[in-house]
Amino acid sequence: MNQSLTQFAAASPHINIKADVLFHLGTIPVTNSMLLGLIGYALVIWALFSTARAAKTGRGNVVTKLVMMIYEMLLGTVEQVLGDKTLARRIAPLSISLFFIIIVNYWLGILPFVGPVTVGGVPLFRGLVADMNVTFAMAIISMVVVQIYAIKTHGFFGNLGRYFRNPITDPAGAFEGILELIAEISRLLALSLRLFGNVFAGEVLIIMVGFMTQYLAGIALLPFMIFELFIGSIQAYVFFMLTTVFIGLGMVSHGEHSDDTHADKQVVSTA
């Protein structure tokens, strides 16, 4: 690891806000984030399927026990936030999958071979969640699910009524509706940009510390990497929590909304 870090430090810093395209499959570009993402997805599938097998057989190892413990904790949180066990069981797969995908790919992006290993001057690997396409896709899916559950609860027109009201009969409500619409869009952007920003900033931090410390990078980078592990878990939890909270907020009736928005702000400010 030390040698790899030293090599990493000796190389000139390659900072790109976009994922680099390695090659094309037909018209579809294959990026370095997709390459590491494949490993990340495989790891998530392996860990969760192993946990499911361990749950069936009753024989597990440290990894499966840890995954099970995290799963239980997250499921409990979803149940607590939504306050309905049946609904929580329907929502939890999305939130928990997001958590596992984000945390695994965030941590993979910190590994020393991500960045220094290059092909034609382009890094072969890049953290999956350091790709705006991924964080944006995740945020879009989350917000679509928020809308689906809001429509299920309020009905199609009832849900539209949250955003569009008659300005003549209810001018304050109409203004509030516009604000609500803006809030929905800002939530979508905040979800994706917050995660991307944190991952990208973390990567830039590690690259710059490695570049500046050169041959001492092996020692200098370790605390930053440990810190990034911590940040990764926090960001995964924040994304998970916000998705759950937004779904919950989408389902509350208009009267209850103001109190919960405060809770939402608290979560966001904590993040």
Partner 1 sequence: MPTALTYVANTSAENSGLFESLGIDWKLLVLQSIAFLLLLWLLSKFVYPVLNKMIDTREAELEAGQKAAKEAQDEAARAEEKIKSLMRDAQKEASDIVMTAKTEATNMIAASEEKAKSSAERIVAEAQESIAKDVLAAKKALHNETIDLVALATEKVVGKTINAKVDKTLIKEALN
Interface residue list for partner 1 (CB under 8 A): 12-19, 27-29, 31, 34, 37, 41, 44-45, 48-49, 51-52, 55-56, 68, 71-72, 75, 89, 92-94, 96-97, 101, 131-134, 136-138, 140-141, 196, 207-208, 211
CB of 243 to partner 1, least distance (A): 12
- Tell me the residue length of the chain: 271
DSSP string, 93-148: HHHHHHHHHHHHHHHHTTSTTTTT-EETTEES---GGGSHHHHHHHHHHHHHHHHH
Nearer to partner 1, 164 or 211 (CB): 211
Nearer to partner 1, 173 or 197 (CB): 197
Nearer to partner 1, 6 or 95 (CB): 95
CB of 245 to partner 1, least distance (A): 19
The answer to whether 205 touches 179, Cβ cutoff 8 Å, is: no
Closest C-alpha among 235, 228, 236 to residue 114: 228
CB of 13 to partner 1, least distance (A): 5
Nearer to partner 1, 16 or 166 (CB): 16
Please name the residue that has the structure tokens 């009753």: 58
Nearer to partner 1, 162 or 187 (CB): 187
How far apart CA 7 and CA 218 sit, in angstroms, is 10
Please name the residue that has the structure tokens 């509706």: 177
Question: Residue 111 — φ and ψ, nearest 5°?
Answer: -55, 145
Residue type, 251: M
How far apart CA 165 and CA 196 sit, in angstroms, is 35
CA separation, residue 41 to residues 31, 49, 53, 128 (Å):
15, 12, 18, 10
Nearer to partner 1, 141 or 229 (CB): 141
CA separation, residue 202 to residues 24, 240, 241 (Å):
28, 20, 21
Nearer to partner 1, 52 or 117 (CB): 52
CB of 35 to partner 1, least distance (A): 13
CB of 101 to partner 1, least distance (A): 7
